[in-house]
Amino acid sequence: MTYRYVGRELSDADLEMIRAICADPSYPTRAAIARECCRALGWVGADGRLKDMSAKVALARMDADGLICLPPPTAKVTRPFRHLEATITPGPDIACSLRELKEIEIAVVKRATDASATWNEMISRFHYLGYTPASGAQLRYLVMTAGGAPIAAISFAASAWALEDRDNYISWSTEQRKARLHLVVGNPRFLVAPWVHVPHLASHLLGTITRRLQDDWQARYSYKPVLVETFVEVGRHRGTCYQAANWIRVGRTKGRGKLDRYNNYALPVKDIYLYPLVRNFRRQLTAPLG
């Protein structure tokens, strides 16, 4: 039997190995178990680092499903409310042309910084999907005016595990997708602050950030993605800024969540947009496996 958690497929033999690690007193904490599971299963990222954060999420879900038995958490899990506090004062309204907008700064957000707290608060308060902590490889960008006022926030993270219309567009096999999915990154959040009314700003930011995304991702994770995906909820948004930034609409989702195993967890239907970061993205994703 095969199990899948956080994009990782596990066999019965893998599960037995994980159970043995959980029962070994040499690994008394969940963090230690996650690290050893990564080493035992070769669960590493493209940069060679252990994917222990993803493993911790996967192990917690396996524990909840009754497949393994983890030790109790060593610390009480609390939500980081600091970044949800209302510290941003909206306005004054910025209403001008893109050319008239004074110089702006686009900065990569680092964890545990004031910029990170600002980014989280903006998404939590002003994005309709709210803030959800992401695990695994990710980049967040904060856009600010010359005076330091935040006006936009955008993030990139893991792509969807399987997506029929996207996968058909790429024309890769299941084996190729499993091996190279890390080369496709998702764009789960994009927000222009509601007090900013600058025509074409959203598409301008998309273009500017995607041009630097490969280098920024390389600097943090030691490899370059070749394709970006995003989802636009049908009936709520039209995807105008993505279209203006030359993203390609390739289809629609089926209205199922990624954890929906029984076809009974309905989600809003969304248009799927892709943006190639290199011309030969398809050749890189579908090259024969060595």
Residue 83: is its pLDDT beyond 80?
no
Model confidence pLDDT, tens digit, residues 128-154: 999 988 778 899 999 999 888 999 999
Residue-level pLDDT at 46: 74
Superfamily designation of domain 81-286:
Gcn5-related N-acetyltransferase (GNAT) (3.40.630.30)
The answer to whether the CB of 209 falls within 8 A of the CB of 202 is: no
Model confidence pLDDT, tens digit, residues 173-216: 999 999 999 999 999 999 999 999 999 999 999 999 999 999 99
Residue-level pLDDT at 156: 97
Q: Enumerate the H helices of 47-92 as residue ranges.
A: 52-64
Residue 85: is its pLDDT beyond 90?
no
DSSP H or E run through 217: helix 201-221
Residue 78: is its pLDDT beyond 50?
no
Residue-level pLDDT at 51: 87
Tokens linked to 43:
């669960």
Residue-level pLDDT at 75: 64
Helix/strand number for the chain, H first, E second: 9, 11
Query: Would you list the domain boundaries of the chain?
Result: 2-64, 81-286
Tokens linked to 290:
């060595």
Tokens linked to 186:
């998702």
Residue 273: is its pLDDT beyond 70?
yes
DSSP H or E run through 243: helix 240-244
Model confidence at 76, pLDDT cuts 50, 70, 90, reads: low
Please tell me the distance from the alpha carbon of residue 82 to that of residue 116, in angstroms, as a whole number. Answer: 11
Residue-level pLDDT at 80: 47
CB neighbourhood size of 86 (10 A): 9
Of 156, 90, 82, residue with least CA distance to 120? 82
Strands (E), the chain: 2-5, 8-11, 94-95, 104-108, 139-145, 150-158, 184-192, 196-197, 227-233, 248-252, 270-276
Share of the chain above pLDDT 70, in %: 92
Residue 48: is its pLDDT beyond 90?
no
